[in-house]
């Protein structure tokens, strides 16, 4: 039997034009993850456009991709290398990054931060913002690619200077001792093989770091947590209901008693189905159907959470959280906000700003504020109109990650 290939998701972070798509294209090319035909097609396309060949042309864009009810303007590409599938997710801006984070399924296991070494590009506010969001969302595995190293003549001193500037920001977001790779995505230096142009560099290639990230068992971490499943859909049978959703953490087994919150009802699982087939047990990441006796289940709906009765979280009406207000928005105490955590949703308001800071520009947090502006982060108390199930982000990540919206998303946050 052929072993299923392991898959790991890596986000590419960084300001537009710093070379994210070029790096992905180069990785696809060097690992032979795309066909010769696709390469020829991209060559022909560059010719027709009268342009130089761009590795970015090797990427297919999936602009209308929908996941979890959101349209994602991201580009994905799969790099196959030594039995591992690396799904690379190119997030063009912070809006897409936020949308991407909303759908637990597409959250990255690891990230590559790209900073262009070109003199007029370097460290930008958008780069810092991406980094802050990655730290807020607990992405621990991160490597920094200082790209376009060819534009500074592969100069070690200049590389060290950029590394120093980026390190200050990284430290302020809690990232210590990260690795930096001097890269030219365009010319292929240190992408999949070490470059002769940077003999002073003694570290790994970008691919080498990706392999290091893949050694980590991300699924196992989530599997060891108590089972949590958000109901996405409910179907009626004669005297049974099928609750369909994705198992965000843990495992569920036939016969186990589950509680459905915030309704506070409990039922034994009669049958578990994955793609129409009955199974004894469902694992983290699988889309499952739970078949339960219909009695007492009239009010079960999308957004409810199924948990083992012996290890469940209770619904709450207030949470303490760390939030980040997205650029161009503002939130005042008492503003009517919708709060969404996967498929759970209710109205809410911030009742207290404990302290706030602009992680990109400030050094000292401000206390007793009554509004949070774009680019600002804050520790707040949020009151919910109806009780929802939340847990600390550090304990059960999918249950502690949410977004706040007015007519559009205004902030992302985690429960502390
Ligand atoms: P993205 O917006 O971050 O995806 O950036 P792209 O990959 O589209 O690259 C933006 C521009 O930078 C393109 O014109 C690329 O050819 C160029 N570029 C990307 N990587 C390099 C590099 O390593 N060296 C040089 N000189 N140019 C690069």
DSSP 202-255: -S--HHHHHHHHHTS-HHHHHHTSPPEEEEEEEEE-SSEEEEEEEEEESEEETT
> How crowded is residue 386: how many other Cβ atoms within 10 Å of its Cβ?
13
pLDDT tens string 119-160: 999 999 889 988 888 888 888 899 999 999 999 999 999 999
pLDDT attached to residue 102: 60
- Token duo for residue 278: 């009955």
Domain shared by 279 and 342, yes or no? no
- What's the CA-to-centroid distance between 74 and ligand 1, angstroms? 17
Hey, whose CA ends up nearest to atom 2 of ligand 1?
Answer: 17
Helix (H) or strand (E) holding 90: strand 84-90
pLDDT band at 213 (very low <50, low <70, confident <90, very high): very high
pLDDT of residue 411: 93
Residue nearest atom 6 in ligand 1 by C-alpha distance: 19
Mean pLDDT of 304-327: 96
Percent of the chain surpassing pLDDT 90: 66
What Cα–Cα distance (Å) separates residue 313 from each residue in 228, 234, 277?
9, 21, 29
Q: Which of 20, 115, 186 to mutate to test the pocket of ligand 1 (most atoms within 8 A of CB)?
A: 186
- Residue ending a domain, among 263, 291, 311, is 311
Last residue of a domain, one of 182, 216, 250: 216
- The tens digit of pLDDT for each residue in 8-67 reads 989 899 998 999 999 999 999 999 999 899 889 888 888 888 888 888 888 864 444 444
Q: Is 321's pLDDT higher than 50? A: yes
Is the CB of 43 within 6 Å of ligand 1?
no
Within a domain: 1: no
In this predicted structure, what is the pLDDT of residue 66? 45
Report, as an integer, the average pLDDT of 189-212.
Answer: 97
Residue 313: pLDDT above 70? yes
Which of 14, 17, 19 has the most ligand 1 atoms within 8 A of CB, as the residue to mutate? 19
pLDDT confidence bin for 341, thresholds 50/70/90: very high
Residue 184: give the domain boundaries: 6-216
In this prediction, residues 321-333 reach a mean pLDDT of: 94
For residues 274 and 162, state if they share a domain: no
pLDDT reported for residue 2: 45
128 CB within 6 A, ligand 1:
no
Q: CATH number, domain at 347?
A: 2.40.30.10
Question: pLDDT band for position 4 (50/70/90)?
Answer: low
- Are 169 and 296 part of one and the same domain? no
Ligand 1 and 19: CB distance under 6 A: yes
In a domain, 32, yes or no: yes
Query: 59: Cβ–Cβ under 8 A, 6 or more apart, which residues?
Result: 21, 24, 25, 28, 75, 77, 90
Q: Are residues 133 and 31 in the same domain?
A: yes
Distance, in Å, from the CA atom of 103 to the CA atom of 403, rounded to the nearest integer, reads 11
Whether residue 187 is contained in a domain is answered as yes
Asked whether residue 87 is assigned to any structural domain, the reply reads yes
Do 323 and 236 belong together in one domain? no
Does 99 lie in the same domain as 193? yes
Q: What is the DSSP letter of 361?
A: T
The residue whose C-alpha atom lies closest to atom 11 belonging to ligand 1 is: 17
Strand pairing category for 228-236 and 240-249: antiparallel
On whether residue 298 sits in a domain, the answer given is yes
Distance (Å) from CA 27 to ligand 1 centroid: 14
Please give the structure tokens belonging to residue 361. Answer: 């520009």
Q: What is the CATH number of the domain that holds 142?
A: 3.40.50.300
Residue 235: per-residue pLDDT: 95
pLDDT of res. 64 = 43
Residues 328 and 273 in one domain: no
| Residue 144 maps to a domain | yes
Q: Is the CB of 15 under 6 A from ligand 1?
A: no
Please state, in angstroms and rounded to a whole number, the distance separating the CA atoms of residues 141 and 263: 38
Residue 263 forms part of a structural domain: yes
Strand-pairing partners, residue 77, are 88
Give yes or no for a contact between 65 and 100, defined as CB atoms under 8 angstroms apart: no
Position 296 in a domain: yes
For residue 291, pLDDT beyond 90: yes
| Alpha-carbon 122 to chain mean position | 24
Contact between 246 and 229 under an 8 Å Cβ cutoff? The reply is: yes
Q: Are residues 260 and 120 in the same domain?
A: no
Residue nearest atom 18 in ligand 1 by C-alpha distance: 19
Averaged pLDDT for residues 283-303: 93
Tally the domains of the chain. 3
Q: Which of 22, 153, 184 to mutate to test the pocket of ligand 1 (most atoms within 8 A of CB)?
A: 22
| 176 and 149 within one domain | yes
Residue 116 beta carbon below 6 angstroms from any ligand 1 atom: no
Same domain? For 106 and 160 the reply is: yes
pLDDT score, position 231: 95
What separation in Å is there between the alpha carbon of 16 and the centre of ligand 1? 9
Average pLDDT of the residues in 274-290: 94
pLDDT of 220-260, one tens digit each?
Answer: 889 999 999 999 999 998 899 999 999 999 999 999 999 99
CA distance 24 to 89: 9
Residue-wise pLDDT tens digits, 86-114:
999 887 777 777 766 665 444 678 999 99
Co-location of 149 and 43 in the same domain: yes
Q: Which of 79-83, 281-285, 331-335, 356-360 has the lowest mean pLDDT?
A: 356-360
Q: Dump pLDDT digits (tens) for 66-88.
A: 444 445 556 778 999 999 999 99
Domain final residue pick, 311, 331, 347: 311
Same domain flag for 209 and 289: no
């Amino acid at each position: 039997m052929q072993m299923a290939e392991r898959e790991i998701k890596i986000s590419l972070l960084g300001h537009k034009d710093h070379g994210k798509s070029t790096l992905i294209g180069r990785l696809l090319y060097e690992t032979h993850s795309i066909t010769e035909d696709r390469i020829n097609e991209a060559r022909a396309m560059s010719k027709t456009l009268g342009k130089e060949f761009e590795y970015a042309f090797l990427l297919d864009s999936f602009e209308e991709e929908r996941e979890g009810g959101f349209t994602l303007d991201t580009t994905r590409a799969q790099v196959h290398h030594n039995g591992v599938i690396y799904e690379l997710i190119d997030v063009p801006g912070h809006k897409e990054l936020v949308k991407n984070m909303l759908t637990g399924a597409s959250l990255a296991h690891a990230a590559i931060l790209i900073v262009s070494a070109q003199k007029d590009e370097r460290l930008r506010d958008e780069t810092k913002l991406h980094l802050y969001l990655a730290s807020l969302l607990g992405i621990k595995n991160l490597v920094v690619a200082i790209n376009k190293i060819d534009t500074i003549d592969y100069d070690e001193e200049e590389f060290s200077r950029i590394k120093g500037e980026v390190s200050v920001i990284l430290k302020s977001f809690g990232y210590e001792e990260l690795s930096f790779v001097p890269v030219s995505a365009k010319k292929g230096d240190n992408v999949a093989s070490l470059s002769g142009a940077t003999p002073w560099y003694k570290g790994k290639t970008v691919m080498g770091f990706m392999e290091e990230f893949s050694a980590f068992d991300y699924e196992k971490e989530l599997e060891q947590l108590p089972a949590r499943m958000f109901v996405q859909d409910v179907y009626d049978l004669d005297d049974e209901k099928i609750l369909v959703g994705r198992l965000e953490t843990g495992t569920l087994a036939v016969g186990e008693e589950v509680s459905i919150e915030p309704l506070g009802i409990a039922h034994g699982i009669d049958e578990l189905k994955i793609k129409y087939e009955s199974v004894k047990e469902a694992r983290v990441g699988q889309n499952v159907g739970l078949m339960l006796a219909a009695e007492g289940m009239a009010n079960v709906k999308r957004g409810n959470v199924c948990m083992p009765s012996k290890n469940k979280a209770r619904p709450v009406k207030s949470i303490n959280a760390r939030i980040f207000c997205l650029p161009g928005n503002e939130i005042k105490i008492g503003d009517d906000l919708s709060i969404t955590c996967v498929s759970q949703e209710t109205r809410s308001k911030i009742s207290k700003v404990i302290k706030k800071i602009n992680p990109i520009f400030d050094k000292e947090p401000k206390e007793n504020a009554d509004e949070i502006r774009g680019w600002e982060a804050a520790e707040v108390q949020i009151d919910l109109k109806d009780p929802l199930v939340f847990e600390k982000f550090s304990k059960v990540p999918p249950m502690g990650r949410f977004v706040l919206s007015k007519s559009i998303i205004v902030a992302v946050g985690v429960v502390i």
